[in-house]
A = this chain, B = another copy of it.
Amino acid sequence: MSVRSTTLDNGMTVITDDMPHLESASLGIWVKAGSRSETEAEHGISHVLEHMAFKGTRTRNALDIAEAIENVGGDLNAATSVEHTGYFARVLKEDVPLAGDILSDILQNSLFEQSELDREQQVIVQEIGAARDNPDDHVFDLFQQAAYPDQPIGRTILGTVDSVKSFTPDTIRDYMERNYVGNQMVVCAAGNVDHNALVDTANDRFHGLKATGAPAPEKAKYVGGEHRLLSDHEQAHIVLGFEGRAYNSDGFYAAQILASVLGGGMSSRLFQEVREKRGLCYSVYAFHWAFADSGIFGVAASTGEAEVTDLLPVVLDELRKATETITDEEVVRVRNQIRAGLLMSLESPSSRAGQLARQQILWGRPIPLQETVDRINRITADRVKQIARTIFETGSVSLAGIGPVAKLPDYAAITSRLKN
């Protein structure tokens, strides 16, 4: 086992996965905080902070940060999601200490200067506009709002133009102090790395960090509902969904398998029925997203105005059929897909580092591959049909559509088609 984990005095975990045959490494710092950690007044601040972390520290300005990593051919990136924020670098093996130095600097010593914030607010306003111009992104924002109305978990990650413009250096510092604390942070590296050296760096750079901060975010309350936005796009972009299962819940793996059986590949039920047999779509797939205390099971598709009346009834019938007809053969295929996907992802240092960090944040420890495979292998076709019944028959529907969506079936018709 090449994975090593050390917990520092302040609760921060340092995990490494040594891949000594590689020339490079992927190194990141993950924080268990994202858009759902925000108060209403803070809507979008997790993502603003993620941008502002690159805008200057006590010893480096924004250009110094960019040049330091790019001079050695590395790159630096970050991403904000509903429950996590990650900052990562990919570098050649000899530059791992440099990457650790920069990542810790931007997360401990950022200045958040007013002039930098002014400019970055303009940039994020542009980013919000670009996201709204992409209907595939925009429809997912509407969908999340339909599923979890009036709650942090249902709001967009980017925030609104007004909320983003309202932040000051102090509001950012407040959010950071509350959420970027030892027991919510994981330093993780995979590739050609030295565990003890990384532990020393983390101890040295993060010794001033508080161990604990904000309580967990308010509990998610899945509600469901719909948002339709008529627009002159060529295609109707549609997401339909239900409450799924939380990471630590009993039904998590069964829901994952259900999503793959229904819409995870070319042999999946939705791909075969909607695209291969009927030619209704170019893109149709199912997904299961888990959160700490809830989850979303969904189907996304887009189709032309002429086909929009047919699409949802076909999808709904497939969901209903799945509750009774999923076979052992399908479940075995999905198990093989998950196992092969895990083995292949282990070949990439970025995937390995990301997986280990996610496991630490969600389950409190790195999970050996065989343990995941064993859990998946225990899920039977009966269990998958049972979870399908609970999700589709007893849960309320969330629906979002953008484009020529006037002829979509109405909400009551969708709900009743699932229960007959």
Interface contact B72-A336, CB-CB below 8 Å = yes
Interface contact B237-A133, CB-CB below 8 Å = yes
Interface contact A282-B127, CB-CB below 8 Å = yes
- Whether, in the assembled complex, A407 has its beta carbon less than 8 Å from a beta carbon of chain B, the answer is no
Interface contact B272-A63, CB-CB below 8 Å = yes
A134-B132 contact in complex given A66-B265, A282-B123, C-beta closer than 8 Å: no
Docked CA distance A165–B92 (Å) = 50
- Whether, in the assembled complex, A403 has its beta carbon less than 8 Å from a beta carbon of chain B, the answer is yes
Docked CA distance A109–B66 (Å) = 52
List, in ascending order, chain B residues with CB within 8 A of A70's CB: 265-267, 333, 336-337
Q: Which of A279-335 contact B (CB under 8 A)?
A: 279-283, 302-304, 307, 332-333
Q: Which of A21-29, A146-154, A176-184 contacts B (4 or more CB under 8 A)?
A: A21-29
Q: Which of A198-206, A338-346, A388-396 contacts B (4 or more CB under 8 A)?
A: A338-346
- Whether, in the assembled complex, A253 has its beta carbon less than 8 Å from a beta carbon of chain B, the answer is no
- Whether, in the assembled complex, A113 has its beta carbon less than 8 Å from a beta carbon of chain B, the answer is no
Docked CA distance A124–B281 (Å) = 9
0/1 per residue, A255-280, Cβ < 8 Å to B? 00000000001110001100111111
List, in ascending order, chain B residues with CB within 8 A of A66's CB: 265-267, 271-272
Interface contact A126-B272, CB-CB below 8 Å = no
Output the least CB separation between A2 and chain B (Å): 13
Docked CA distance A245–B16 (Å) = 43
A343-B24 contact in complex given A282-B123, A333-B70, C-beta closer than 8 Å: yes
Q: Which of A38-46, A73-81, A213-221, A408-416 contacts B (4 or more CB under 8 A)?
A: A73-81
List, in ascending order, chain B residues with CB within 8 A of A302's CB: 126, 129-130, 133
- Whether, in the assembled complex, A119 has its beta carbon less than 8 Å from a beta carbon of chain B, the answer is yes
- Whether, in the assembled complex, A420 has its beta carbon less than 8 Å from a beta carbon of chain B, the answer is no
Docked CA distance A120–B24 (Å) = 43
List, in ascending order, chain B residues with CB within 8 A of A24's CB: 340, 343-344, 347
Could you say which of A118, A266, A348 has the most chain B C-beta atoms within 10 Å of its C-beta?
A266
Docked CA distance A303–B133 (Å) = 11
- Whether, in the assembled complex, A197 has its beta carbon less than 8 Å from a beta carbon of chain B, the answer is no
0/1 per residue, A7-47, Cβ < 8 Å to B? 00000000000000111100000000000000000000000
Docked CA distance A237–B267 (Å) = 37
Could you say which of A74, A278, A281, A340 has the most chain B C-beta atoms within 10 Å of its C-beta?
A340
Interface contact A234-B124, CB-CB below 8 Å = no
- Whether, in the assembled complex, A135 has its beta carbon less than 8 Å from a beta carbon of chain B, the answer is yes
Docked CA distance A307–B125 (Å) = 12
List, in ascending order, chain B residues with CB within 8 A of A283's CB: 130
List, in ascending order, chain B residues with CB within 8 A of A275's CB: 123
Interface contact A347-B266, CB-CB below 8 Å = no
Docked CA distance A233–B233 (Å) = 11
Q: Which of A161-205 contact B (CB under 8 A)?
A: none
List, in ascending order, chain B residues with CB within 8 A of A347's CB: 22-24, 347-349
Output the least CB separation between A266 and chain B (Å): 4
A67-B349 contact in complex given A92-B343, A343-B92, C-beta closer than 8 Å: no
Interface contact B279-A130, CB-CB below 8 Å = no
**A-side interface residues toward B, CB under 8 Å?**
21-24, 54, 62-63, 65-67, 70-76, 90-92, 118-127, 129-130, 132-136, 233-235, 237, 265-267, 271-272, 275-283, 302-304, 307, 332-333, 336-341, 343-344, 346-349, 403
Closest 3 CB pairs of A and B: A73-B340, A122-B279, A66-B266
Given A62-B276, A129-B234, A133-B403, 8 more A-B residue pairs with CB atoms under 8 Å apart are A70-B337, A71-B332, A72-B336, A73-B336, A74-B340, A121-B279, A129-B304, A347-B347
18 A-B contacts (beta carbon < 8 Å): A21-B21, A22-B347, A24-B343, A24-B344, A66-B267, A67-B267, A67-B333, A71-B336, A75-B265, A92-B340, A92-B344, A119-B279, A120-B279, A123-B282, A125-B304, A133-B235, A133-B403, A134-B135
